[in-house]
Amino acid sequence: MENDAPPADFIVFQQSSTMEDDAPRADFIVFQQSSTMEDDAPPADFIVVIGDVKFNLHKSNNLAMKSGLIRRKITEDRTDTDAASKILLFSDIPGGAEAFEKAVKFCYGINFEITVGNVVELLCAAKYLEMTEEWCEDNLATRADEFLKKAALIDLLSSLTTLRSCERFLPLAEDMKIVQRCVDVVALKACNESNFPTRSPPIWWAFELSVVCPVFLHKIITSMRFRGANSRTLSIAITAYAQQSLADLLPPSQYCDSPPASSISQKTFLESLISILPLDITLPIGFLCCLLRATIFLNSSTATHEKLERAIAEVLDQAVVGDLLTISLDYNKQNIVGLVSIFQILSGFVDKERKAHGGNDILISTSKSMQTVVRTVDSYVGDIATDENLSVSKFVTIAGIFPTTVRRFDDDLYRAVDIYLKAHPDLDELEKEKTCSVMDPLKLSYEARLHASKNKRLPMQILLQTLYYDQLKLTSAGLDNMSMVDNDVATLRGRIKVDTSLAKENVALKLELDKMKAHVSQLEKGQSSSSSKKPNKFLSTISKKFEKLRNHFTSKDTSAIVEHVAKAARPKKRRFSMS
């Protein structure tokens, strides 16, 4: 190399006639200009600026022969003497300065490595620089495409790596069909592994899919379905993908030890994943419930919640109590946060059953799936009833969501009601009656009614209903036609309402009488006999009215009935209370 060679802060390749065969081929190229450029450096014919990097390039047959874009730029430069025209801005080249450097090296025969990580970058850069067969045989686009076909897309892992690298070059990589080529190979390899596993565990392939974004996963799932993959295989792929990608939000167990950290990226990723979930594929309900809990925790969009709620409602008969608790409880398992979603799910299930049976209440009541869900929900209500912050309205909304005809006995509801009343001892009489409105005391089994008749937590109206029903059955026990018991239920309910009102009035009068007696006693001690006669006369009037009311109510005295039932000899049965 001659003495006037550029300083060391340039990378210079110069070809001579005596250069050995293995030497790099270059006419003369200087690139990656340094900030300490010397004044005696050879002047550049044009400068390519990509971001913060400048490439000082000399006109070269190699550049012009292999890149249609550079050939046009050089041709335009020859007709313009303005110095500013020497600066070429390639800021939008795919892959940036790194990709352009590889393209220039290719033009001058400088060796560099093509890998599964940069092959997409080279393909997109070649497309941008127009380094195709149109300008030169065996050009960069051809070389990179050959590597993609023979090296990158030969197995599942390398295909996934290549597909992941496409994310940086969208939408160009998709327009060039690179994404679809990768997706087709991944889907084919995944289907083969699902049918004939080559590694352990057999579903290892599903966990490898977590390296791609949700949009690409949706393309893979679609391609797998086109190739005949069954619902179970697709379900495994989606479940494993979510568990790997959202490991802290979707732990293997139902609950995690501590609440995960919330982030915008997690929320965006989760919403993207749920948006591409195929609704016609049956996914495990436990997985769907975990997804819904994650959306509640991350405060995701309403559309995201609704899609999951509809999906869970479709397979609600497969749910267990733990699945519903997964939605309801936060990650600390202490606070109830998802009752709105639970209500939407149950409402969706009831609507689905109504449509399936044409609104026929009898068919709905005998539906196997309905009976399964009712038992699950009754147990679930009993579990959440212990929460001190659970209001009466929320309890009644969840517990009373099903039609009254779907249950033959309300024993499980009574158990939940009793648990709630015990956990909330400060409820007044009206709140207790509202709580008990979700069950029908006349649909309790004998054991449950016996327990209810001694349950002091229940409001008076419920006690009277249970006691009167047993009394009615006892008086009808000797009759052949026992159907009259059911025929008198409506009349019985009317009597109970009247008697409940009278019983409350009776209690109020007794309290008033006790107060009056105390007041009279005080007046007799501190006043003359003449002034005490008027209160005694008033007391006499009140006593006469109370006596008439008591005589009218004697035949329905609840204390006598309670005493009668309590003395009846019955076998010991299981308890229906928390205590």
Q: Render pLDDT for 482-531 as a digit per residue (tens, 0 to 9).
A: 444 455 555 555 555 555 565 566 666 667 777 777 777 777 676 655 44
CA 318 to chain centre: 17
What is the pLDDT, as a whole number, of residue 278?
Answer: 86
pLDDT at residue number 371: 94
Give the three-state DSSP class for 158: helix
**Confidence bin at 18 (pLDDT 50/70/90):** very low
Q: How confident is the model at residue 476 (pLDDT cuts 50, 70, 90)?
A: low
CA distances from residue 192 to 198, 226, 378, 516 in whole angstroms, order as listed: 9, 14, 45, 91
pTM of the predicted model, to two decimals? 0.70
Judged by average pLDDT, the poorest of 294-303, 431-440, 510-519, 552-561 is 552-561
Distance CA 237, CA 279 (A): 15
Packed helices 178-195 and 231-245: angle between N→C axes, nearest 10 degrees: 110
State yes or no: pLDDT of 226 exceeds 80: yes
Average pLDDT, the chain: 78
Q: Which helix (H) or strand (E) holds 381?
A: helix 368-384
Which of the four pLDDT bands, split at 50, 70 and 90, describes residue 249? Answer: confident
User: Which one is predicted more confidently, 528 or 124?
Assistant: 124
Best CA proximity match to 413, nearest among 456, 453, 390, 442: 442
Region 217-239: mean pLDDT is 93
Residue 544's pLDDT band, with cuts at 50, 70 and 90, is: low
Predicted pLDDT at 366: 87
Task: Determine the 3-state secondary structure of 323 from DSSP.
Answer: helix
By three-state DSSP, how is residue 35 classified? coil
Residue 465: is its pLDDT beyond 80? no
CA distance 417 to 435: 7
Q: Which residues pair with 336 in a beta bridge?
A: 329
Lowest-confidence region among 246-255, 340-349, 448-457: 246-255
- Average of pLDDT values for 138-160? 94
Highest mean pLDDT among 41-45, 174-178, 456-460, 560-564: 174-178
Residue 501: per-residue pLDDT: 61
Supply the pLDDT for residue 238.
93
Burial 424-433 (b: 16+ CB within 10 A, else e): beebeeebbb
Classify domain 10-146 at the CATH topology level.
Answer: Potassium Channel Kv1.1; Chain A (3.30.710)
Q: Which residues of 508-543 are buried (b: 16+ CB within 10 A; e: fewer)?
A: ebeeeeeeeeeeeeeeeeeeeeeeeeebeeeeeeee
pLDDT at 6 over 60: no
d(CA 533, CA 530): 6
Residue 527 or 340, more confident: 340
Give the pLDDT of residue 23.
37
pLDDT for the residue numbered 551: 54
Supply the pLDDT for residue 33.
36
CA-nearest of 20, 25, 22, 28 to 2 is 28
d(CA 136, CA 362): 79
Q: Which two tokens stand for residue 110?
A: 């400088």
CA distance 536 to 531: 10
Q: How large is the average pLDDT for residues 4-10?
A: 35
pLDDT score at 198: 92
Span of 243-257, 329-343, 465-479 with lowest mean pLDDT: 465-479
Identify the pLDDT of residue 555.
44
Share of the chain above pLDDT 70, in %: 70
Please check whether residue 377 is in contact with residue 325, taking contact to mean a CB–CB distance below 8 angstroms: no
Asked if the bond preceding 202 is cis, omega within 30° of 0, the reply is no
Q: Which of 54, 59, 50 is nearest to 33 (CA)?
A: 54
CB 54 within 8 A of CB 48: yes
- Average pLDDT for 61-87: 67
Has residue 115 got a pLDDT over 50?
yes
pLDDT, position 248: 75
Q: Of 36-50, 66-80, 147-161, 175-189, give the lowest mean pLDDT range.
A: 36-50
Of 364 and 481, the structure prediction assigns the larger pLDDT to 364
Residue 553: band (very low, low, confident or very high) from pLDDT cuts 50, 70, 90: very low
Residues 6+ apart with CB under 8 A from 243: 250, 252
Q: For residue 305, what pLDDT is reported?
A: 93
Residue 397 clears pLDDT 50, i.e. is over it = yes
CA–CA distance, 550 with 243 (Å, rounded to integer):
70
If one compares 559 and 352, the residue with the highest pLDDT of the two is 352
Q: Check residue 262 and give its pLDDT.
A: 58
The token pair that represents 436 in the structure block: 């008990």
The reported pLDDT for the residue numbered 541 is 54
Q: Could you tell me where in the chain the CATH 3.30.710.10 domains are found?
A: 10-146
- Render pLDDT for 443-460 as a digit per residue (tens, 0 to 9): 888 888 888 888 889 988
Residue 180: which region, alpha, beta or left (left: phi > 0; alpha: psi -120 to 50)?
alpha
Instruction: Output the pLDDT for position 512.
Output: 72
Average pLDDT over residues 356-367: 86
Of residues 15 and 220, the one with the higher pLDDT is 220
